[in-house]
Amino acid sequence: MARGTAPGNFDPYFFYIIPLTDMLIFGTLIASAFRLRFDSAAHKRLIYIANTALLIAAFARWPWHIIHRNAPRAAIATYAFLLLLLVYDLWSTRKVHRATACGCAFLIFVQQVRIPIGKTAAWHSFAMWIQHIAR
C-alpha cells in the first residue's frame, strides 16, 4: 500500500484484503489443528488445508499463461488439492471427514467473500486507516 501499487493492476487498498485474509485463514486453521492435535486425522487434515491456503501466491507466480499473475484462477487451481483430500476421504473411509468439510468450507468461503468486501468503501476506509497508523 505504501508504494501505491499492487500486483495485477489492482487498487492497493483493495489488494490489502488478500494477504490479510490469507493470514486469517492460515492462522485460524493452524490454531484449530493445534487444538485438535490429539485427534490425529483431524489435525493432519487441517494442517493440509492450511498449507493449501498458502499455495495461491505460489501458483500465481508459475509461468503458465492461464494462472500467471491471476489470483482467482490460481485459487481455483489450488482447489484441486482440496478435491484430492475429498477423494482420499471418500476412498479411505467412504465418507468426508468433518475436519475436511469444515476446513474446506471455511477456506473457500473466506476466499470467495473477500473479493466483494475488498471493493467496498468501508474496506477502503479501513485500509487507509491501517496505512495511516503504520506510517
Given a cut of 90, whether residue 92 has pLDDT beyond it is yes
Residue of 26, 83, 96 lying closest to 55 (CA atoms): 26
Residue 75 has pLDDT above 60, yes or no: yes
Confidence of residue 57 (pLDDT cuts 50, 70, 90): confident
The average pLDDT across 81-96 equals 97
Query: Tens digit of pLDDT for each residue in 14-37?
Result: 989 999 999 999 999 999 999 999
The stretch 108-118 carries a mean pLDDT of: 95
> pLDDT for 94-105, tens place per residue?
999 999 999 999
Q: Domain coordinates of the chain in residue numbers?
A: 40-128
Q: In the structure grid, which three cell numbers stand for residue 119, read together?
A: 471493493
Whether the CB-CB separation of 2 and 132 falls below 8 Å is answered with: no
- Residue that the C-alpha cell 487441517 belongs to: 46
Q: Which helix (H) or strand (E) holds 98?
A: helix 98-118
Backbone angles phi, psi at 82, to 5 degrees: -70, -40
Residues 106-110, mean pLDDT to the nearest whole number = 97
